[in-house]
Structure 1
Amino acid sequence: MTVVTAERIATADQAVRIAAELAEVFAAGAAERDLLRRLPHEELDQLSASGLLAITVPAEFGGADLPPSVVAEVVRILAAADPNIAQVPHSHFVYLNLLRLAGTRAQREDLFGKVLAGARIANAQSERGGATVAEIATVLRPVDDSGDGGRGRVGGTVRGRGQVGIAGAELDGTKAQRFVLEGTKFYCTGSLYADWLAVLARLDDPQGISGLEPGEYVAFVPASEPGIRIVDDWDALGQRTTGSGTVEFASVALVREQLVARSGAVRAPTGYGAFAQLLHAAIDTGIARGALRAAAEFVRTHSRPWFEAEVEHAADDPLVVQRFGELAVAVAAAEATLIVAGTAVDAAVRPRTIADDPVGTLEGDGAQASIAAATAKILADRAANEVSAAIFEVAGTRSAAAEHRLDHFWRNARTHTLHDPVRWKYQHLGRAVLHNRPPPLHGVI
């Protein structure tokens, strides 16, 4: 992996401007990369070097501490140019948010510092084989450290980025400090490009050796750690260059300081799930805008008018004009709702504690953020799929020629919008309206 020196971004305006500049560069080769499945290593190094991947690092650790609404706008801009590139850092931002919410100060200092220097985090979360996607078979097993005082540590070298290892406080010799990680993950977006993997695992400790609470933990592991095998086997019809393949973990050694309990973020009204969903909505909204732009350009420059329209140019066909108006409304609605959702998520994740919130608005803000993000996701899903399919409807037979590569918008939209079903978003919205029931706290709404 290429060594990068990351710039420091200080303001929202700066972040949006840099995103727009990069989007212009990324758009030029997006269709060809998709067709040939040319992995965007160089482009992602540019993204890292720009400083955009560090914009959520809290100010106390040297970052810009920009809110979710700005991250969503950056992602939307990038997705309109190349939704593959825009999806790669989704998990990066989500797991930085987990660190902010549930990590120790030592963990935050260490990993936030690495991200400020250009490091990238990818997810290793989803699995196959369980009855539902919520079942986690990957396990963390404690190692009995009674023989060495519990002072085992691991380290490694991230490809081209120098020495790694999460710094921590002095280890407690009365509890297990070392663990092994075992399991296989799928749909690990960004794993081919990552310096660190955020691995969701279940603690397997029936004897209580670890001293940790039972439940799910996220292990932050260097991607080059011995025992990790990253497999380039992602073969979906769309989002072909996101690096969303398989990652295998065979007796991977960890220390306690690499573990963050997931419950602290997802079992409280922190806005954790709403933030993740906001970024998914931003990707789909960006695809919709990119598809609309491509359709308009093709109709202006390539399409022939239908003879019954009795016009010289396809762009003057009143039925084509009408359809573009309908598509423009769908895209504008998705973009406007994304802004509203961004504002709601900003309110839910702003630094506060329960002690500062005696009237309970913290919980209310979390629920409203999830509802707003769900609404944005529904409209983004609808716009991305409708507009990307309508390219061929409005542009005519010529648009189906492989040389124009316009199908990548639909393939990307169809693939990414499968991430989580919008039919359940409608359920949660309906229950909120009819029964004043807040959405569940499970991290994906």
Structure 2
Amino acid sequence: MTRTPWTTLPTDDETEKWDAVADETGRLLARDALARDRANVDPEGELKLLKDSGLANLLIPSQFGGHGGHWSTGLRAVRILARHDASIAQILSYHLANQAAIVFFADPSRWEHWYGASAKGSWLWGDAVNPVDPDLVLTRDGEGYRLNGRKRFATGASTGDVTLAMAADGEPGARILATVVTRDSEGVEFAGDWDALGQRLSASGSVEFHDVAVEPGDILGEVGEEPYSTLVTPGVQLGFANLYLGIAEGALERARELTLERRGSWLLGTAEHYSRDPFVQRVFGELLSRTAAVEALADRWNARFDRVIARGADVTADDRTEAEIGIAKLKVVATETALEVAHRVYEVTGSSSTRSHVGLDIYWRNIRTHSLHDPVDYKKLEVGANYLTGDVQPITLYT
């Protein structure tokens, strides 16, 4: 048993097909992305687009009713969506990782059950796994359990069909169990308290569980430190990097539009239009070059992640470390480049681009908000410590 359904690599046809689907979906979202951001309400209609497009079922193997896509294809879809609507791209990114818990934590005999139900309903998977909160607790109740506790930053839980919750089982030497909770289960309460600077439609508010009934079949499995299952964390971080890259690309495209729309040129310059001003061209050249470097590294690790995932149970601790460190490098440069791009595009778009209705600020607000998910300095520490001493950080939901 290979412990993975993703045993092949994507074809060019697959990549081209889903790039086009993601781009079409993104452009539909872009029509009113700023207005929806201002309204700051849960994205029910937007998520229907993810379902109708097929992106919700992209990574589900075809034998279980899905589209049989690969991780790199899904990660590219996240990047493309982020150019147009980073909040919905975040929900897709988290969904792909949460749904993959079926493979990472469940016995293969249960894959057909969970994937079949998810594919049939085009389920979106939210999460309640934030490790900096006290753990959720499962207590025995007859043959099953009762789930209690609260999690902040439960992305997609309030809008998803199911929530992946990681909870301690309350026994001596407590295990952490990956558990699936349906959105409308009795005792599930969404606080509606997500009111951040950016990523406003990512449905990342708190969720509380009050004596929620959990059947034995709702438990996917134990969250441990076996190398293959812990690839979920580098996978999540890889999703972040693609999200940030997409935000940078979107900011550059919007800045280009605004620059071309500007009238005339600077009074002390010699160019007839801002687009021909050497200082404007220099800034674009610098930001485009740095973004292209991040793109190259992201493409490299998207493809390498496909290959390591395909190894399944043969994945070693060294394989896992290589992926962790390589993706951490990408996370560092993607974070810093996207922040710089979203900040510096104002240098070439001028004071008129700061008007609220223009919406250029959405890119900076989104990257500034999500890049604080976990400190990028600790990613630098992971990379530097491993290079100097060979040290590897403890396995967590952040490393």
2:126 to 122, 126, 132: 122
Say which SS state the counterpart of residue 200 (structure 2) adopts.
coil
CA distance 1:40–1:134, shift in 2 (3 Å): closer
Quote how far apart the aligned CAs of 1:400 are: 0.9
Shift of 1:441: 2.3
Give the SS at the match of 1:200: strand
Distance 1:106 1:21, change over 3 A: same
Query: Equivalent of 2:227, from 248, 263, 268?
Result: 268
Q: How far has the Cα of 1:421 moved from its partner?
A: 1.3
Contact kept, 8 Å, 1:54 with 1:63, in 2: the verdict is yes
- Worse-superposed segment, 434-443 or 74-83: 434-443
Q: How does 1:137-156 map to 2 (within 5 A)?
A: 137-143=135-141, 145=142
Relative to 1, partners in 2 of residues 1:25 and 1:135: Cα closer, same or farther, differing over 3 Å?
closer
- 1:425 corresponding residue in structure 2: 379
**Match in the other structure for 2:389:** 435
Instruction: Tell me how far apart the structure 2 counterparts of residues 269 and 253 of structure 1 sit (CA, whole Å).
Output: 30
Aligned partner of 1:286 in structure 2 is 246
Distance 1:443 1:138 in 2: 15
The structure with the larger Rg is 1
Range moving further from structure 2, 364-373 or 18-27: 364-373
Aligned counterpart for 1:191 among listed residues 137, 154, 157: 157
Distance across 2 between alignment mates of 1:253 and 1:336 = 47
Alignment equivalent of 1:33, drawn from 29, 33, 36: 36
Q: Which is worse superposed, 68-77 or 339-348?
A: 339-348
Partners of 1:303 and 1:323 in 2: how far apart? 19
Question: Is the aligned partner of 1:80 residue 2:71?
Answer: no
**What CA distance in whole angstroms lies between the structure 2 residues aligned with 1:396 and 1:292?**
14
Return the offset for 1:38: 4.4
Question: What secondary structure does 2:220 align onto?
Answer: strand
Gaps of 5+ in 2: 1-12
| Aligned residue number for residue 92 of structure 2 | 89
1:267 to partner: Cα distance: 3.9
Q: Could you tell me whether the CA contact under 8 Å between 1:367 and 1:439 is conserved in 2? A: no
Rounded Cα–Cα distance in structure 1 between residues aligned with 2:265 and 2:360: 19
The 5 Å alignment of 1:28-427 reads 28-117=31-120, 118-126=122-130, 133-134=131-132, 136-143=134-141, 145=142, 177-206=143-172, 214-264=174-224, 266-270=225-229, 271-302=231-262, 304-354=264-314, 362-427=316-381
Comparing 39-48 with 223-232, greater Cα deviation is found at 39-48
Report the CA distance shift for 1:250/1:430 in structure 2 as closer, same or farther (over 3 A): same
Residue type at the aligned position of 2:113: D
CA distance in 2, matches of 1:396, 1:97: 44
Q: Is the 8 A contact 2:64 2:119 kept in 1?
A: no
What do you get for the CA RMSD once the two structures are aligned?
1.9
The question of whether the paired residues in 1 share the 8 Å contact of 2:107 and 2:221 is answered with no
- Aligned with 1:187: secondary structure? coil
Measure, in 2, the Cα distance between the counterparts of 1:273 and 1:52.
21
What secondary structure sits across from 2:316 in the alignment? helix
Q: Does the 8 Å contact 1:267/1:441 carry over to 2?
A: no
What displacement does 1:366 show?
A: 1.6
* Alignment deviations for residues 365-400 of structure 1 (CA, whole Å, 9 cap, x no partner): 222211221111111111211111112222111111
Decide whether the 8 Å contact of 1:61 with 1:112 is kept in 2: yes
**Structure 2 counterpart of 1:294, which letter?**
R
Is the contact made by 2:14 and 2:73 (CA closer than 8 Å) also made in structure 1? no
CA distance in structure 1 between the aligned counterparts of 2:304 and 2:152, rounded to whole angstroms: 31
Look up the equivalent residue of 2:84 and give its one-letter code: A
CA distance in 1, matches of 2:320, 2:304: 8
Residue aligned with 2:148, SS: strand
Q: 1:14 offset after TM fit, Å?
A: 2.0
- Aligned residues of 2:138 and 2:147 also touching (Cα < 8 A): yes
Specify the SS of the correspondent of 1:199.
strand
Counterparts of 1:368 and 1:439 in 2: how far apart (Å)?
Answer: 12
Say how many residue pairs are matched: 385
Deviation at 1:292, TM superposition (A): 0.5
- The one-character-per-residue Cα deviations of 1:261-295 (angstroms, maximum 9, x if unpaired) are 3434x442442211111111111110000000011
Q: CA deviation at 1:304?
A: 5.0
CA–CA distance in structure 2, aligned partners of residues 38 and 428 of structure 1: 37
Render the CA deviation track for 1:326-352: whole Å, top value 9, x for unaligned: 110121111111111112212221143
The 8 Å contact of residues 303 and 395 in structure 1, kept in 2 or not, is answered as no
Q: Tell me, in whole angstroms, the C-alpha distance in 2 between the residues paired with 1:37 and 1:309.
A: 42
1:172 matched to which residue of 2?
none
Instruction: Classify the secondary structure of the residue corresponding to 1:89.
Output: helix
Q: In structure 1, how many angstroms separate the alpha carbons of the residues matched to 2:292 and 2:206?
A: 36
Q: CA deviation at 1:42?
A: 1.5
Could you tell me which amino acid in structure 2 is paired with residue 142 of structure 1? R
CA–CA distance in structure 1, aligned partners of residues 16 and 65 of structure 2: 18
Distance 1:309 1:113, change over 3 A: same
What does the per-residue CA deviation read over 1:70-114, in whole Å, with 9 as the maximum and x for residues that have no partner? 111010000111001101122221122221122124532222112
SS in structure 2 opposite 1:35? helix
The one-letter code matched in structure 2 to 1:443 is L
The one-letter amino acid paired with 1:121 is: W
Using the TM superposition, give the Cα deviation of residue 428 of structure 1 relative to its aligned residue in structure 2, in angstroms. Answer: 1.2
TM-score (norm 2): 0.91
Aligned to 1:442, what secondary structure does the other structure show?
A: coil
Q: Do the aligned partners of residues 262 and 409 (structure 1) sit closer, same or farther apart at CA in structure 2, a change above 3 Å counting?
A: farther
| 1:73–1:282 Cα contact (<8 Å) kept | yes
